[in-house]
């Protein structure tokens, strides 16, 4: 069994994963608040934890891993959209419109994350479907003295939990010094955070022992992880911006409500994403969604393929800030284009791969790739191994190998890519569907060239070649023949006059 080592934010050390239930792994990752299209930053944890999910499935078996990622569908921004729509004359109750908004956002989220190759988690609970569990947990916390009700609010008594601050490494005193905590008349202590708050008639609400209201943000993850994974599970993940206060508060709630359990054994946090060296923000004008990139993306492209987005993400280790740069996306696409072309023609291999992809990975993946991933998800090193394999198949390198050796390398490349979530055959097909058939130009160029070889007058060849180059096509002439393929800035309109 491959030993998986992960950096635990709680201990700040790399630790070996030892599942609580032998042979079974459980993981909870904080999911999106479904108020709008996911931006590119939202995709980073999705890809990071998807790689982990795939690795765990590879090591422990497909059915041995339970992955829970929630949807937060209680949120003021969802309410706002719903209220606006209602004001604009949309039919249905406010609750209907709220549900409608989160439904459409979840649909988008699925579409976009599918596109970057993320497997669907085992469970994707919605906060609104676990309100009774949250209410029960809050009642329990009150009964145990860790929470209190005041003016329709229920608050968590932070000072009653001695371990508070362990994950983020701050003491309650530190935080008081920071003095950014919200002071409110219904709080016993400024540090206390909300478990339940009242809703007025314009807001969604649920009945509770404390009146009509809605849950605080942190309680949903505690309630849903308990409902689906129990009081102790192996891995809890999320972006490092959630480390405090969200995860700290989750720990406080869960550990006080279920002292018999250990809650999460390993905490994983991914670093944030930047764009061209700067934090992505609306004010800087570098804010964009995953969909923007998939549809439009890099200028001159017909959108950025999801696999290219994923490849760029995997280039950087998850605990380091990742920079989305157009230049990186371009080299990523070149790499994937090469890889897919190296395996595309092997239809027999494609058939075998598609029959059972997971089985294919088990049989053929290079152990070096698995080892790199098992070492705290070192995706960058995994890619290095794959690049080396790909290089062997490139151009003249390939002739050094026998057919059997070539096929072995192809298998390793396809399997390794799939383990990190890139389906080369899917990519190859997607690319060829979107590309243009330039073989007519290739034949024409071949004919002109053959004539020119005799006459030594290359002007006609050069004229056609420059037109093709001007249109963004790549022209490759070898003794074997002429190849014309669309380049990164290919513009088919410019070829119209040549037909």
Binding residues for RNA restricted to 223-262, rule: CB under 7 A:
238-245
Which region among 83-91, 130-138, 333-341, 418-426 touches RNA (by CB under 7 A)?
333-341
Q: Which of 17, 44, 55, 421 is in the footprint of RNA by CB under 7 A? A: 44
Q: Helix (H, G, I), strand (E, B), or coil: what is residue 357?
A: helix
Nearest distance, CB of residue 22 and RNA, angstroms: 28
Closest C-alpha among 297, 282, 274, 356 to residue 62? 356
Nearest distance, CB of residue 347 and RNA, angstroms: 23
51 close to 244: Cβ distance less than 8 angstroms: no
Residues between 359 and 388 with contacts to RNA, criterion CB under 7 A: 375-376, 378, 380-381, 384, 387-388
Closest C-alpha among 473, 457, 453 to residue 465? 473
Q: Would you count residue 465 as binding RNA (CB under 7 A)?
A: yes
Q: Which of 47, 56, 138, 194 is in the footprint of RNA by CB under 7 A? A: 194
Instruction: For the beta carbon of residue 284, count every other beta carbon within 10 angstroms.
Output: 11
Query: Is residue 473 exposed (0-12), middle (13-18) or buried (19+ Cβ within 10 Å)?
Result: buried
The token pair at 438 is 């330039």
> DSSP of 26-85, one letter per residue?
EEEE---BTTSPPBHHHHHHHHHHHHHHHHHHHHH-GGGEEEEE-BB---HHHHHHHHHH
Q: Would you count residue 197 as binding RNA (CB under 7 A)?
A: yes
Of 260 and 282, the one with the shorter C-beta distance to RNA is 282
Closest C-alpha among 237, 259, 260 to residue 10? 237
Q: Would you count residue 474 as binding RNA (CB under 7 A)?
A: yes
Distance CA 158, CA 146 (A): 8
Residues between 297 and 316 with contacts to RNA, criterion CB under 7 A: 315-316
Which region among 57-65, 407-415, 425-433, 451-459 touches RNA (by CB under 7 A)?
451-459
Nearest distance, CB of residue 64 and RNA, angstroms: 26
Residues between 259 and 288 with contacts to RNA, criterion CB under 7 A: 270-273, 277, 279-280
Nearest distance, CB of residue 325 and RNA, angstroms: 7
Q: Would you count residue 414 as binding RNA (CB under 7 A)?
A: no
Distance CA 83, CA 80 (A): 5
Distance CA 178, CA 180 (A): 6
Distance CA 249, CA 251 (A): 5
Q: Would you count residue 408 as binding RNA (CB under 7 A)?
A: no
Q: Would you count residue 30 as binding RNA (CB under 7 A)?
A: yes
Number of residues that bind RNA (CB under 7 A): 81
Q: Which of 6, 134, 175, 195 is in the footprint of RNA by CB under 7 A? A: 175
Contacts of 392 (CB under 8 A, 6+ apart): 398, 400, 401, 409
Residues between 98 and 157 with contacts to RNA, criterion CB under 7 A: none
Distance CA 158, CA 227 (A): 23
Residue owning tokens 């709008």? 36
Q: Which of 148, 217, 226, 233 is in the footprint of RNA by CB under 7 A? A: 217
Of 157 and 197, the one with the shorter C-beta distance to RNA is 197
Residues between 1 and 20 with contacts to RNA, criterion CB under 7 A: 12
Of 6 and 19, the one with the shorter C-beta distance to RNA is 6
Nearest distance, CB of residue 446 and RNA, angstroms: 11
Nearest distance, CB of residue 166 and RNA, angstroms: 11
Which region among 251-259, 289-297, 432-440, 455-463 touches RNA (by CB under 7 A)?
455-463
The token pair at 52 is 């982990």
Q: Would you count residue 484 as binding RNA (CB under 7 A)?
A: no
Q: Would you count residue 206 as binding RNA (CB under 7 A)?
A: no
Beta strands across the sheet bearing 278-279: 278-279, 273-275, 322-324
Q: Which of 187, 236, 317, 411 is in the footprint of RNA by CB under 7 A? A: 317
Distance CA 336, CA 213 (A): 51
414 close to 386: Cβ distance less than 8 angstroms: no
Of 2 and 453, the one with the shorter C-beta distance to RNA is 453
Distance CA 318, CA 273 (A): 10
Residues listed for the chain: 499
Of 66 and 316, the one with the shorter C-beta distance to RNA is 316
DSSP letter for 232, please.
Answer: E
Of 36 and 100, the one with the shorter C-beta distance to RNA is 36
Nearest distance, CB of residue 430 and RNA, angstroms: 21
Which region among 94-102, 153-161, 200-208, 459-467 touches RNA (by CB under 7 A)?
459-467
Q: Would you count residue 205 as binding RNA (CB under 7 A)?
A: no
């Amino acid at each position: 069994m491959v030993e998986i080592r992960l950096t635990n934010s709680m201990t700040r050390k790399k630790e070996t994963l030892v599942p609580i239930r032998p042979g079974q792994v459980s993981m909870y990752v904080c999911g999106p608040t479904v108020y709008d299209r996911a931006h590119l930053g939202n995709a980073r944890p999705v890809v990071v934890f998807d790689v982990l999910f795939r690795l765990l499935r590879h090591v422990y078996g497909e059915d041995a891993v339970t992955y829970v990622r929630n949807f937060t569908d209680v949120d003021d921004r969802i309410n706002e959209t719903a209220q606006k729509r209602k004001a604009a004359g949309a039919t249905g109750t406010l609750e209907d419109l709220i549900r409608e908004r989160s439904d459409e956002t979840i649909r988008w989220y699925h579409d976009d994350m599918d596109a970057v190759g993320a497997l669907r988690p085992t469970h994707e609970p919605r906060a609104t479907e676990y309100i009774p569990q949250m209410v029960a947990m809050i009642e329990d916390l009150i009964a145990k003295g860790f929470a209190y009700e005041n003016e329709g609010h229920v608050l968590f008594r932070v000072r009653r939990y001695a371990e508070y601050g362990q994950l983020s490494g701050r003491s309650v005193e530190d935080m008081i010094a920071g003095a950014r905590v919200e002071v409110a008349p219904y709080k016993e202590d400024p540090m206390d955070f909300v478990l339940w708050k009242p809703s007025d008639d314009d807001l969604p609400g649920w009945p509770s022992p404390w009146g009509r209201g809605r849950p605080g943000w942190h309680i949903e993850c505690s309630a849903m992880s308990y409902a689906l994974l129990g009081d102790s599970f192996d891995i809890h993940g999320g972006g490092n911006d959630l480390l405090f206060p969200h995860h700290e508060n989750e720990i406080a709630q869960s550990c006080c409500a279920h002292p018999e359990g250990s809650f999460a054994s390993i905490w994983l946090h991914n670093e944030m994403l930047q764009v061209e060296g700067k934090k992505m923000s609306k004010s800087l004008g570098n804010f964009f969604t995953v969909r923007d990139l998939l549809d439009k993306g890099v200028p001159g492209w017909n959108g950025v393929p999801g696999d290219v987005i994923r490849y760029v993400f995997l280039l950087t280790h998850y605990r380091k800030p990742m920079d989305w740069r157009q230049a990186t996306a371009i080299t990523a696409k070149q790499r994937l284009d090469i890889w897919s072309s190296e395996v595309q023609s092997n239809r027999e291999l494609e058939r075998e791969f598609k029959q059972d992809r997971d089985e294919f990975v088990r049989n053929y993946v290079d152990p070096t790739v698995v080892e790199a991933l098992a070492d705290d998800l070192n995706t960058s090193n995994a890619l290095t191994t794959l690049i080396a394999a790909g290089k062997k198949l490139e151009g003249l390198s390939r002739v050094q190998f026998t057919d059997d050796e070539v096929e072995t390398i192809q298998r390793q490349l396809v399997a390794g890519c799939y383990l990190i979530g890139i389906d080369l055959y899917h990519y190859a097909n997607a690319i060829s569907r979107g590309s243009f058939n330039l073989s007519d130009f290739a034949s024409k160029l071949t004919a002109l060239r053959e004539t020119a070889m005799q006459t030594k007058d290359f002007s006609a060849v050069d004229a056609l070649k420059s037109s093709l180059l001007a249109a963004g096509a790549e022209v490759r002439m070898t003794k074997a023949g002429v190849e014309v393929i669309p380049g990164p800035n290919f513009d088919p309109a410019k070829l119209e006059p040549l037909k």
